[in-house]
Amino acid sequence: MLPFVLILAILLLFVVLLDRMIARMYRNPRKTHDKTPADYGIAYKEIFIPLSKGSQLYGWWISTSPNAPTIILMHGWGRNLSRMLQYIVHLYPLGYNLLAFDARNHGSSSPEKHPTVGTFTEDILSAINFIAESGLVSSNKFGIIGL
């Protein structure tokens, strides 16, 4: 009986350590936003996009006109929406509505124990649905830039 309990304890320890190692590999340090669109003279509104289980995505909504096309800006892995400021500065004067947001476990969005490409995809779809259902725009012209 003792060898069985010992083997079970070792397996349990292995599973716990493996889970911690995977979480550490895929969980990026959360970087804060050091600048906002306001630092470039661009008015913006902080928004929160609801997700399942009470989670939410944090973002910036920059509006030019309800009839203007909307571009959703998505940062890359390990970044946050501040990465998109250089594009906001160039796209805003062209008349686009802009939505930049932090993916789960990035920036100011809700934490996620094991973020994946799948959760990134869900976050993008949630941003699209948010724009479509929010009443912020009357145009159905959307684009996405991911970097």
Rounded to two decimals, the pTM is 0.78
CA distance 100 to 3: 55
Give the C-alpha separation, 147 to 79, whole Å.
9
Residues 6+ apart with CB under 8 A from 109: 55, 56, 57, 58, 101, 102, 103, 123
Round the average pLDDT of the chain to a whole number and report it: 86
Judged against a pLDDT cut of 70, whether residue 23 lies above it is answered with no
Q: Give pLDDT tens digits for 71-118.
A: 999 988 778 888 899 999 999 999 999 999 999 888 888 888 777 788
Query: Domains of the chain (ranges plus CATH)?
Result: 37-146 (3.40.50.1820)
